Chain A
Amino acid sequence: ETGVTQTPRHLVMGMTNKKSLKCEQHLGHNAMYWYKQSAKKPLELMFVYNFKEQTENNSVPSRFSPECPNSSHLFLHLHTLQPEDSALYLCASSHVGSSYNEQFFGPGTRLTVL
């Protein structure tokens, strides 16, 4: 257990569905991240929220919409996804202002788009 939880762990959705991924951190951190990991590819950073403000969007398509209502919760809203969006979606958190600022990851949500 890393102190970062993600739900659901597995999700299957059609291309016309709308769904949301949830991440919660219990570490008192103030920065949260979404990563995407496609099969046999390195992790790709999608979004960064630092003190609840979005500070990074790595050219992610608008069908992915992040939301960070407070420093402990992070959502990724999904709509009209494509089959190539099937991947492992990972959430992480860290404490900006600490000496080393390492990131702690959740277990991920395995998403399959049909």
Chain B
Amino acid sequence: DAKTTQPPSMDCAEGRAANLPCNHSTISGNEYVYWYRQIHSQGPQYIIHGLKNNETNEMASLIITEDRKSSTLILPHATLRDTAVYYCIVRVVATDSWGKFQFGAGTQVVVTP
């Protein structure tokens, strides 16, 4: 699976949009981009995933560049409860196997009042 690069930390003001970048320049055509987050000492929480189209759900939006070498997770209106480590992961999705998630160091996002 391709490796990802994320900034180690980001600050965001409450109520503002948080834009979290991820670089995955070696991504291959059959690899999806997944985002998880982990609030302190809890289990990681799935946020969103995508292949090449932009995706949106009730938690966030995922913008993937046309060449798929980078992506941005957007939290539209950050709240204090969004303070967490955010992980960007790329992996092959195969319906006949369990598929490995390789967690890196992620981005520590701190939302301030």
Contacts and interface: CB of A to CB of B under 8 A. Distances in A.
A99 interface: yes
A100 B51 CA distance: 10
Interface stretch (A63-71, A75-83, A102-110): A102-110
A90 interface: yes
Contacts of A103: 46, 101
Given A100-B49, A102-B34, A102-B49, A108 B43 contact: yes
A110 B99 contact: no
Contacts of B106: 42
A74 interface: no
A7 to B, nearest CB: 13
Size category of the A interface is: 20 to 34
Contacts of B57: none
Interface in A90-106: 90-92, 94, 96-106
Contacts of B42: 107-108
B100 interface: yes
Interface string B19-34: 0000000000000101
Contact of B98 (A90, A94, A104, A107): A94
* Prevailing SS type, chain A contact patch: strand
B44 A105 contact: yes
Contacts of A90: 43-44
Contacts, number: 60
B93 A101 contact: yes
Contacts of B104: 42
A21 interface: no
B43 A98 contact: no
Interface string A51-64: 00001100000000
Contact of B96 (A97, A105, A108): A97
Interface of B: 32, 34, 41-46, 49, 93-101, 103-106
28 contacts: A2-B43, A2-B45, A33-B98, A43-B44, A43-B103, A45-B100, A48-B98, A50-B97, A90-B43, A92-B43, A96-B95, A96-B97, A96-B98, A96-B99, A97-B95, A98-B95, A100-B49, A101-B94, A101-B95, A101-B98, A101-B99, A102-B34, A104-B46, A105-B44, A105-B45, A106-B43, A107-B43, A110-B41
